[in-house]
Structure 1
Amino acid sequence: MFLFNSVRINTSTESRIERQVAARLQDPNYLAAQKAFKDGLLLSKLNSTSQREAIKRYETALQLWQKVGDKASQSYAAIRLGQTYSNLGEKQKATQYYNEALKLKRAVGDKNGQVIVLGHIALLERSQGNLDKSYKSIQYAIKLIEDLRRTYTNTDDQSAYFASVQNYYKFNIDLLMELHKKNPTRGYDALALYTSERSQARGLVELLKQAKADICKGIDPSLIEAEERLVSKRDDAETLLSQYLNQPQQPLELIAATQKEITNIIKEQEEVNAKIRAQNPDREKVLKPKLGRDILQLPQIQKLLDKDTVLLEYSLGEERSYLWAVTQNSLSSYVLPGRQQIETAASKFRSGVLIPDSIPPEVIQASNEFSKIILAPVADKLPGKRLVIVGDGALQDVPFAALPDPNQIRNYQPLMLNHEIINLPSASTLAIQRQKLATRPLAPKALAIFADPVYSPTDERVTGKPDNNQLGPELVLQNSDLEKSTKSLKRSGFDRLQGTFTEAQGILNLIPASSRMQAMGFDANYTWATSSEVNQFRIIHFATHGFVNYENPELSGIVLSLVDKKGESIPGYLRLGYLFNLDYPAELIVLSACETGLGKDVSGEGLVGLTRGLMYAGGKRLVVSLWNVNDQGTSVLMQEFYKEMLQQNKTPANALRAAQKKLWENPEWRSPYYWAGFTVQGEWQ
């Protein structure tokens, strides 16, 4: 069921409406209109007879608001009349009132309101079989959404707004797939895939702002100040224009002057943006991904793929979900069950693979059921292919490596036995990354490793006594953030990961001393991790605790040594915001830690977490975890991974697969719990 009545209103718009209401509270007609409208709302929730009565109330409210010249309120009455007539099956009258509401919303410059009305029109047209008209309406609504999204300067409001409009994207995808069913050769399935990319390719932008990341490297601070000032100035002018347009006697001279002011502000913004682009060309691609350039259409996605790769992109909807399988020269699409069924099956599967013991029959059954839902439809496209997964919702934290291969249904065979598996936030993300890193030279040295940090003054490695444990302001802030994060995760501290020392030693033995840097114990600290020396290494490996704060992604981080040799507290929390400011021109970053691949699932943004921060820092590809991995098992897995990569010259994705196969073949480590938690994200070539 698609609902188009819950769009979040911009704070400035909300305040304007409140001011207008307050100014008219003394008008008897206005008060009578308000009462009639509220009565209509109550009646419309009841039976069809009551809905007829509701129509009378809405019509009364509409007429009274016409008397006082309140076009904004008239539009709300018209919307309700359209909804009520639509519920009663009187489609022609519903269309009439929706069109009237759209006209009123345009008259007062209410773009949010236009989006809502266009959604209703699209739904109404679709219910009558007018799919082309429905498509035009929803396309225009999405265009307005894209425009509105850029007007939010507050990160929380921006993310909340985009979450509130996800139904429009999902409706558009569903409509396009219905058009594809009726006209399979018209390319509607490719347009649906493009819409999916449009709705998913933005998480990095909000995360950058939420983490207070410095994405202004190399830019004159005065230009950033000018940019912020002009955004605020334009918002004020557009709010004022909307107020003028909603007055009974419109002040034409003031309207013209305000429109001219907005035009001049836009011109100034363009001039400032041009100067900023000249100083940092990459910034705009991150903050304002361009449709058709930074967000890819089918031919561009296909160019990313080689003959041995198939891209599987998912979109979860309330009633139906979709899967697109893309190769170099083909596109196939599939209808899957609704979100709830997929999420329930995903939860059962994930719970099963977290069992450390041998795989019980009930877990195998749950795994097979889940594989039938999300992989069996595309089974014929998989043999011999590398699988690149763009998940949605619950599918973003599913260990695909442990899913039963749909082509090997007699016995449980994990997907990784026959397939190399890569995860991506979106196909568009990879394209931007490839373009950005195409000419980057390789770092001169092989490996920097951070392992076995010291988290507590009670650690046996602490030999001295603190002289003065008075914390400086920066340390107080970091420890405060760390405390807030750990409290939200119900953790009281961090245990030593002794297996990481063995893990690090095994990896270091594979690298010549002249081409490696090791930061172990006390040296695995914030100072070393943020040192410019780290950008000399092609591989950066963190064998330590890391975690994601689901409610406040900006508090996510990597935990390094928290005390020095005397037991005194030191900065040791490598926060998400800091990651964005680091220069890690690495071919591979490994987070051999807990749940580093996860993040907060903001509707329309995808999972946002540490992985995206490290990608922005320069990581070409990442190896991250999906759950609290076992210390000893991870040590074995990582040593095998590096042997395959460095001694057998395999790509990271292929090396991880080979290491996982070795653990699978060993009875001691056979359970997916020990090996399936790690996944490769980013470039596979």
Structure 2
Amino acid sequence: MQYFLYPVDVQAQTLTPSQQDSLVQEIEATIYSVYEQYFYTQPDSTFRILETVAQQAETYQLWDIQITSLLQAAWCAEYHTQIDTLQQYLNRIEALTHQHVVALDTLDASGEIRTNVAYTRGSFYYNIGDFTSAIHAFNEIVQPQALVQINDSLLVADVFTYLASSYYRLQNYQKSLTHYRIVDQWLPATSEAPNYQLGYRKTLNGLHQARCYFTIGKYNHQPAAYERGKRLAHQSLAFFNRQKSDARFYNPIRSAINILVSVFQEQQQYDSALHYLSQSLALSSDGSELLLNTYNTLGATYTLMQDYPKALKSYQKSEALADKLLPKKHYQRAAIYTRVGQVLAAQHRWSDALEKYQQALAQLVVEFNASSDILTNPVYRDVGARKELLEVLSYKAEALWGLYQQQPQETTSLQSALEIYHLIGNILDEMRQGFPSVEFKQFIASHFFGIYEQAIRIAYEMHQRQPASGQFLAQAFHFAEKSKSFILLEATQETQAQSFGGIPDSLLEQERTYTRRLSILEQQRDGIADSNSQEAVQLEQQLLITQDARQKLLQQFEQNYPEYYALRHNTNVASLADVQASLPANTVLLSYYLGDSSLFAFGISPNKIVIDSIANLTALGQDVDHLLTFVRQYDWEAIKDSENSQQWAKSGHTLYQQLIGGVLDSLGSKPEKLVIIPDGQLGYLSFDVLLTEPVPETMSTKFGSFPYLIKELPLRYEYSASLYVRQPSPENTISNQYAYTGFAPEYKNTPLLAENTVTRSGAGTEVFYDLLYNKEEVQQVSGLFNSQIFLDDQATEQAFREFAPRSSLLHLSMHAFAHDQDPMYSGLVFSQADTTTEDNFLYAHELYALQLRSNLAVLSACETGIGQLARGEGIMSLGRAFKYAGCPNVAMSLWKVNDRTTQRIVQSFFEQLADGADKDIALQQAKLAFLAKAKGPLAHPYYWASLVLIGDDLPLTTSPFPYTIFIGLALLLLVSIIVLIKKRRKTT
């Protein structure tokens, strides 16, 4: 083939325009031929020809052609995982774009070359494992204003693919899936790109989505997503296998097989895994990154089979291939060393495993020496491959614990492990701030929850050895707090920052507009049955654009309002000293961490701190289950059975001893108040019903006489000790237009049940029956305060949205429902009258987008305090959503509540509040007053123990209803009249 029309020494000015056009056409044809013949199979030939093309273009000052040739070479290097070569080409390309910037303004008027350079820069960052920088580079291309100017939709599709892959590597799986689903909308039906096939690209994108669905299903416990991932992977593999004679299909085949093998590993179907891996290895290849991954997957399979020699042999092949393909420092090398370390750790060869982990860390952290002592840890510097760094750090900490088990006389390994866990905490905080979505932060909290359990265990072990210093007890508490309710803590900080950060209301309103827009778009997207439809994907794109706009606004806040930004992001957890200093003299705080194998209980009084550990979680879980089953529903047949009642009473007392009594005894304290920070399954438990003394068998059905904890102490709860410490003080409370706003809708369906069995529970969007006492409840309470109430058809979602943000007290007496599968769709049911544009279901995800400034929200409805348990964040309930929206104090229910008894307790609660009682005492007295009058079955905890208080115990600052002023004036007037009458009598 003859590649060029003109010799190198001919100057560009000697060419006529037609000659120059001919030369350009010839060069472009050469580039196309190289791509078609050599690109996928012969990289050296590709580089040689493209270098010649670039030199020819330079000779004739065709700067755009020269850069285009080098870009093609860079992309070939990327395809063959020749990262050093890719970097060399990228450096040359960027130098040329700077050198010829003026000429390129004319030669590249459309900006195509600049876009391709940004694309190459992003791909380089991706390949070296700096996924955060890759995202920044690719986002330059797909900004809304940039997308309008791009004619090459295939390039846009490739950019979205890279973005999706980068988010996947950073463990933001949902955002990754969103980007992958957008890819299909940009793939053109035809393209001038060599060998372009729409079916191939769509199948490849489906394979990427399969990986996301599988991972989301695995980590978020969503079986439907898991199965969808498997199905897509099988479909992709079937498509690619039909064309496996083509070398272009080798890598996709290996990708599909690796995904399917991970499924087989999960299901312990190792023979199937080995069968598929043998197919992958049978594909002829001179080596690629995906072949390296195949060897890693094979090694992992053998490790699970406990065939450690074969596992190590597989990893040796991976390492040999890495030496051929990768730079001396690369995140993929770290992954190999980490996997080898896991094999050695499985054999309890802890020292050998630690040496491998040191090698892995040296691959990921600049200036860390692999030959360092195995107890030495790196100083953290931001790295793109955070997933790999977190993995190797956590495995190293586990190996240090294993080393301590072998050498218990030495505690230096434990101290080294504690250093690592602090480092992991810092990295996780950085990850949360880098991706502000609630969903991602919730994933981080759940996925890394177990790391904190091991950290607490090690700190507890050190505290047992060195109790006097208290430093390890403080560290155990620190790790427990790091695992709790980060999202709520951040929301609380945001509320305070908005109030005291000096930021203009117009900008805050702009952010709220973006937040509302995101909520609406998410609701619209979730309402579409086919998530892959064009409508759904278009909504995904609008979501990304709105998220980007909101993120840019937040960056503006950071630059222009540093005080606001500092307040907003001050999410450091409270220390033990902070909590202890904040406790009144009469109060004890009990904080729990419920892990997979241990329960840790922290008891904090103003003058002492203790920690207790419970290892038998099976028995604990059984007692909690017994108690919850008994109190959540009133079943007369079960209750009148004294054996059932006795079992419940036994569980209630056992739990008191384990959770409360033992800790209080260790504290040597008899507090007047308790603050409970529950965790895990304990979040479903009303501690009111724990029994401070055993119940004699003869008294097992006389529920009113039981020694409930609520009879001794008022209780309140919080999601974390950090939230307890940061409760807003009264002087920082925002004044509102309305003191009290109550809602009591009518549903226009006559209840079919007997009065004493009517509950305030809805069931999705089905028929709702009228409540008999909700309007009475709101009307009676409204007489205690300066009020605004909405009854019957006026109690709408629209009225709530308008008046709730301006009310100090919110009272919602209505139906509610908890959504088991998706807690964001738990909701409150307003009047179903068709008088507004709203649907009159206030969902949790809508509350997350609201800005409420109420001091107290009383959710007098069913199951407002329960929902799906999200590890590391707590129970995703409606009550939690109100707290997120800005209500520091929430009264909510832990099970379905009876209409009549709830009315009595809530009314009494508000009466106590109006008289100036502390919130926790007000709720305690309301329950005790009910119990004192309850006869027979009504004394059962089902009727009175469901309502719990989250927040502070401060009395209300809300002024009572003005009638008290009128009464005072009337009394004053009466006294004046009496005085005047007496004076007149004296004068006569």
Is 2:464 the partner of 1:173? no
How far residue 679 of structure 1 moved from its aligned partner, in angstroms, is 0.6
Larger deviation: 93-102 or 267-276? 267-276
1:180-579 to structure 2, matched below 5 A, reads 180-186=463-469, 187-204=471-488, 218=505, 220=507, 272-276=557-561, 281=564, 285=567, 288-291=569-572, 295-337=573-615, 339-356=617-634, 357=636, 360-380=645-665, 381=667, 383-405=670-692, 412-434=706-728, 438-440=731-733, 443=736, 446-451=739-744, 453-456=745-748, 492-508=766-782, 510-511=783-784, 515-532=786-803, 537-563=807-833, 571-579=839-847
| Contact 2:746–2:791 (CA under 8 A) maintained in structure 1 | no
Unaligned runs of 5+ in 2: 1-167, 181-204, 212-247, 255-283, 367-382, 405-412, 493-497, 516-550, 700-705, 752-760, 955-988
Q: Deviations over 1:127-154 (max 9, x none)?
A: 1122111112222222222222322255
In structure 2, the residue corresponding to 1:531 is in which secondary structure?
helix
1:112 is aligned to 2:387: yes
Tell me if the contact between 2:484 and 2:874 (Cα under 8 Å) persists in the aligned partners: yes
- Distance in 2 (alpha carbons) for counterparts of 1:366 and 1:432: 34
Specify whether residues 620 and 90 from structure 1 end up closer, same or farther in structure 2 by C-alpha distance, changes over 3 A only. closer
Structure 2 counterpart of 1:97, from 333, 336, 356: 356
- Percentage identity across paired residues of the two chains: 20
SS, match of residue 220 in structure 1: helix
Partner of 1:245: none
In the other structure, the counterpart of 2:909 is: 641
Please state how far the C-alpha of 1:522 moved relative to its aligned partner. 1.7
Helix, strand or coil for the counterpart of 1:353?
helix
**Counterpart code for 1:190:** A
Which of 669, 674, 677 is residue 943 of structure 2 equivalent to?
674
Paired AA for residue 78 in structure 1: Y
1:315-341 CA distance string (max 9 Å, x none): 011221100011122211100235554
Cα gap change, 1:79 to 1:422, in 2 (>3 Å): same
Q: 1:55 to 1:413 in 2, by over 3 A?
A: same
Distance in 1 between the 2:438 and 2:285 partners? 38
- Which piece of structure 1 moves more, 657-666 or 377-386? 377-386
Distance in 1 between the 2:448 and 2:862 partners?
33
**More displaced, 338-347 or 30-39?**
30-39
Query: Does 2:409 align with 1:122?
Result: no
Q: Which amino acid aligns with 1:667?
A: K
Distance across 1 between alignment mates of 2:739 and 2:507:
35
Checking the alignment, whether the CA contact within 8 Å between 2:862 and 2:896 is kept in structure 1 is yes
* Structure 2 counterpart of 1:612: 880
Aligned partners of 1:372 and 1:406 also within 8 Å: no
Distance 1:525-1:40 versus aligned 2 partners, 3 A rule: closer
SS of residue matched to 1:122: helix
**SS of residue matched to 2:591:** strand
Report how far residue 169 of structure 1 moved. 1.6
Q: Distance in 1 between matches of 2:554 and 2:810?
A: 40
| Whole-angstrom CA distance in 2 between matches of 1:537 and 1:657 | 25
CA distance in 2, matches of 1:548, 1:438: 35
- Tell me, yes or no, if structure 1 residue 66 matches structure 2 residue 323: yes
- Shift in alpha-carbon separation, 1:23–1:559, aligned structure 2, 3 A: closer
Of 905, 919, 928, which residue of structure 2 is paired with 1:652?
Answer: 919
Query: How far, CA to CA, are the matches of 1:177 and 1:409 in structure 2?
Result: 37
Shift of 1:447: 3.2
Shift of 1:45: 2.5
- Residues 380-422 of structure 1: per-residue CA shift (max 9 Å, x gap): 2463431101111111121111111269999841110001000
TM-score after normalising by structure 1: 0.77
In structure 1, the gaps of 5 or more residues are: 1-5, 209-213, 229-265, 461-484
Deviations 1:146-188 (A, max 9, x none): 2223222554334223311112222211111111111112321
Task: Identify the structure with the greater helix proportion.
Answer: 2
Greater gyration radius: 2
- Measured against aligned partners, the alpha-carbon deviations of 1:179-201 in whole angstroms (never above 9, x if no partner) come to 11111123211221122222213
Q: Give the distance between the partners of 1:375 and 1:181, measured in 2 at CA.
A: 21
Aligned-residue offset at 1:80: 1.7
Alpha-carbon shift at residue 591 of structure 1 (Å): 1.0
**Superposition RMSD in Å:** 3.9
In the alignment, residue 733 of structure 2 is paired with which amino acid? R
Cα deviation, residue 308, structure 1: 0.9
The alignment status of 1:57 with 2:325, answered yes or no, reads no
User: Once structures 1 and 2 are overlaid, which stretch shifts more, 92-101 or 571-580?
Assistant: 571-580
Structure 1 residue aligned with 2:171: 9
The 3 A distance-change label for structure 1 pair 571 and 67 is closer
SS for the counterpart of 1:586 is: coil
Code of the aligned partner of 1:592: S
Aligned length: 593
Report the 3-state secondary structure (helix = DSSP H, G, I; strand = E; otherwise coil) of the residue aligned with 2:312: helix
1:291-331 residue CA offsets vs partner (Å, 9 max, x unmatched): 2xxx2111211232101111110001122110001112221
| 2-structure distance, mates of 1:183, 1:407 | 36
Contact 1:196–1:315 (CA<8 Å) still a contact in 2?
A: yes
Contact 2:632 2:896 in 1 (8 A): no
State which drifts further: 18-27 or 349-358: 18-27
- TM normalised by structure 2 equals 0.55
Note if contact 2:863-2:893 (Cα within 8 Å) is conserved in structure 1. yes
**C-alpha displacement of 1:83:** 1.1
Alpha-carbon spacing, 1:275–1:551, altered in 2? closer, same or farther (3 Å): farther
Structure 1 8/524 Cα, relative in aligned 2: closer, same or farther at 3 Å?
same
Q: What is the identity, as a one-letter code, of the residue corresponding to 2:338?
A: I
Residue identity in the other structure for 2:482: R
The answer to whether the Cα contact below 8 Å between 1:201 and 1:428 also exists between their aligned partners in 2 is no
* Counterpart Cα distance in 2 of 1:519 and 1:383: 44
Alignment-mate amino acid for residue 147 of structure 1? E
**Correspondence 1:32-47 to 2 at 5 A:** 33-34=292-293, 36-47=295-306
Task: Sort the Cα spacing of 1:97 and 1:157 in 2 relative to 1 into closer, same or farther, 3 A.
Answer: same
> Quick one: distance in 2 between partners of 1:600 and 1:217?
37
Kept after mapping to 2: 8 A contact 1:664/1:670:
yes
| Segment drifting more, 403-412 vs 497-506 | 403-412
Amino acid at match of 1:100: Q
Deviation at 1:29, TM superposition (A): 3.8
Closer, same or farther in 2 for the Cα pair 1:183/1:531, shift >3 Å?
Answer: same
- Does structure 2 conserve the Cα–Cα contact (< 8 Å) formed by 1:7 and 1:164? no
Distance 1:569 1:42 in 2: 56
Give the C-alpha shift of residue 66 in structure 1.
Answer: 1.3
What's the secondary structure of 2:896's corresponding residue?
Answer: coil
Is residue 813–residue 861 contact of structure 2 (8 Å, CA) maintained in 1? yes
Give, in whole Å, the separation in 2 of the partners of 1:580 and 1:13: 23
Aligned residue in 2 for 1:248: none
**In 2, are the aligned partners of 1:336 and 1:374 still within 8 Å (CA)?**
no
Is the CA contact (8 Å cut-off) linking 1:177 and 1:192 kept in structure 2?
yes
Tell me, in whole angstroms, the C-alpha distance in 1 between the residues paired with 2:949 and 2:887: 12
Greater relative contact order structure (CA < 8 Å, 6+ sep): 1
Displacement, 1:110?
Answer: 1.4
Name the structure 2 match of 1:632.
Answer: 900
Deviates more, 1:437-446 or 1:538-547: 437-446
| Distance (Å, rounded) in 2 between the aligned partners of 1:659 and 1:222 | 40
